Each structure stands twice: as structure tokens, then as C-alpha cells.
């Protein structure tokens, strides 16, 4: 019988609309989820997406004091190695070294989702990889480059009509921030279609974690004030 997370999910605050302040920190969610092995593994896998993006921004000098949810401060600044599952041998075809980390990450998340019977995580990896590679192809076409050396984990990608629409919305945006907003709105809609609300299973918890990542990213980008901790079960 699938595990149900009644106490954990009902103790979490209700998430607002995309663009509003997150009511709980990513590290707080991770700490709560790690009380149970499967929940902790799945939530950490989704929070790592945020950490790896934050790490790239920090290494580029865009953020001075990143606050990761799963990685350590030393790993964010390259003073310590990344976890072993992110240390896969880079594929020779990849032109950007950092893409090897992303490929290893997506493969790790896919394996973990299957092992923990989290359909949401497996489907999220497939869709996110497809979206990432669609954006690569769109940029490569504009720059008249071959997109192949920049695609990651293409064998994991899902065929999804919404991916092409999201990629076009990004490339047609008047500025990068608007484009990112359009991408994350599409990502938010995707989660809402699969959030398994009130099932209290691992998929509902994973959907909550993914939404919180999107909320937190917009909080960092806009510098909006932090929210409160309203009860999700109320």
C-alpha cells in the first residue's frame, strides 16, 4: 500500500499564487521531509534544481551569499566537491562543462523517482529535460549553431505539446525576465495538472516541493518580502 503523508502535508502552509512570497523556506521543507527516507529523497531531488541554478549564479558573481536548500555553502562556491551522484564523467559531446552536472542530476532524479515510486518526479524530469533542450534548439537556431553539443539527457525527454508552446513563449518575450516569467507560469500550470491534491501521497508532496521552488525563485528575483506561515490544513 502506498505511503500516505497526512501529518506532513497537513502541517505545511498553503502555497499562494506564483509571484507571491513563499510561506516557508526550502531548507525548512527539506528538513521536515527528511524525517522519512522516501519523502526526504524526493523533496531533496526537487530542491536540488533550485540549488544548482543558484550555484551557477553564484559562480558567475551574480549572487554574493547564496542560501542553498540541500548543498552546503562550500559546495556552492566550489570549496568542496558536489555529491557523488553529480560527479558523473562528462559526455564528450557536451561543450559546456556545467551541462555534465545537469545531465547527471536529471539521471539521478529519474532513477530516484522510479525507485521511490514517485510518478510526479519521473514525469517532471522528462518534461523539464524536454523544455531545456527545446530552449537550446531555439537559441541555436537564432545563432545559427548546432544545438546537439548543448542538449542534456535527451533520451529522458518526453514528447509534450506544452513544451513547444512554452519554449516559443520564452523566445518571443520582449525581455529575458518576461520570458522567464512565461516559462515558470507554464511550469506552474504543469504542476497544477499533476499535483494529486488530497491524495496525501508522495506525488502530492513532490508537487508541493516543485511549486515552492518556483515561488522561491521569484521571491529571489523580485526581492519581495517573505510571507507568513498559514496552516495548509485550515
Share of the chain above pLDDT 90, in %: 63
Query: What DSSP character marks residue 20?
Result: B
CB 147 within 8 A of CB 140: yes
| Residue 20 backbone phi and psi in degrees, to 5 | -85, 165
Mean pLDDT over the full length of the chain: 89
What average pLDDT does this structure show over 143-170?
86
What average pLDDT does this structure show over 142-169?
86
DSSP-based three-state secondary structure for 175:
coil
Which residue did the predictor score with more confidence, 181 or 63? Answer: 181
CB 200 within 8 A of CB 6: yes
- What's the predicted TM-score (pTM) here? 0.91
**Residue 103: pLDDT above 80?**
yes
CB 51 within 8 A of CB 63: no
Domain ranges of the chain: 6-221
CB 85 within 8 A of CB 108: yes
Tell me the β-bridge partners of 20. Answer: 18
Amino acid at each position: 500500500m502506498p505511503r500516505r503523508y497526512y501529518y506532513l502535508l497537513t502541517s505545511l502552509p498553503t502555497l499562494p499564487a506564483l509571484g507571491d512570497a513563499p510561506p516557508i523556506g526550502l531548507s525548512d521543507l527539506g528538513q521536515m521531509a527528511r524525517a522519512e527516507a522516501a519523502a526526504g529523497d524526493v523533496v531533496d531531488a526537487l530542491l536540488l534544481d533550485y540549488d544548482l541554478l543558484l550555484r551557477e549564479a553564484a559562480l558567475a558573481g551574480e549572487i554574493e551569499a547564496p542560501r542553498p536548500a540541500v548543498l552546503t555553502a562550500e559546495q556552492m562556491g566550489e570549496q568542496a566537491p558536489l555529491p557523488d551522484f553529480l560527479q558523473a564523467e562528462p559526455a564528450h559531446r557536451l561543450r559546456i562543462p556545467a551541462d555534465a552536472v545537469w545531465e547527471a542530476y536529471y539521471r539521478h532524479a529519474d532513477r530516484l523517482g522510479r525507485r521511490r515510486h514517485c510518478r510526479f518526479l519521473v514525469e517532471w524530469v522528462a518534461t523539464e529535460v524536454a523544455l531545456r533542450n527545446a530552449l537550446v534548439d531555439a537559441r541555436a537556431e537564432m545563432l545559427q549553431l548546432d544545438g546537439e553539443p548543448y542538449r542534456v539527457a535527451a533520451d529522458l525527454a518526453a514528447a509534450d505539446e506544452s513544451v513547444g508552446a512554452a519554449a516559443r513563449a520564452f523566445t518571443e518575450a520582449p525581455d529575458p525576465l518576461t520570458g522567464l516569467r512565461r516559462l515558470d507560469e507554464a511550469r506552474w500550470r504543469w504542476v497544477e495538472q499533476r499535483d494529486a491534491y488530497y491524495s496525501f501521497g508522495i506525488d502530492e508532496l513532490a508537487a508541493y516541493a516543485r511549486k515552492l521552488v518556483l515561488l522561491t525563485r521569484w521571491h529571489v528575483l523580485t526581492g519581495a518580502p517573505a510571507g507568513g506561515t498559514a496552516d495548509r490544513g485550515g
